[in-house]
Amino acid sequence: MEVANDRIYIEKDCTFTFQGKTFEHGGAVVSPEYIIAYPGKDGILTDWHGKPIGTWHAVASWPVYSFIGSHMYQIEAVVDNIIYTGRGFGEGMIYKGKRKSSRP
């Protein structure tokens, strides 16, 4: 997958059927400016279908009171040599981030 030079990756066909009803999800989106993806096992960042698209690691965490999880994570992800920073509930959950600004 390549997103450099203003190219955008938008995952397609993210549907599933439950009790006879079909549901659709937006899937992963990767642009040079922002990302929506899924942290997987062993630091592998994936799209909604589980296809590896990059790497990730948590740089901080703190407890939260939520039915979704017990901790929120500050996550850095790398896709096509672009570093993104954002938050998510960790492995298997959605992660949303933006391109990390470089400092002089």
d(CA 80, CA 64): 32
Residue 64: other Cβ atoms inside 10 A? 12
Q: Read off the pLDDT band of 31 (50, 70, 90).
A: very high
Note the pTM of the prediction, 2 decimals: 0.81
pLDDT for 93: 94
Hey, where are the domains in the chain?
A: 9-99
pLDDT tens digit sequence for 75-103: 999 999 999 999 999 999 999 999 998 76
* CA distances in angstroms from 76 to 18, 46, 48, 57, listed in the order given: 33, 14, 18, 6
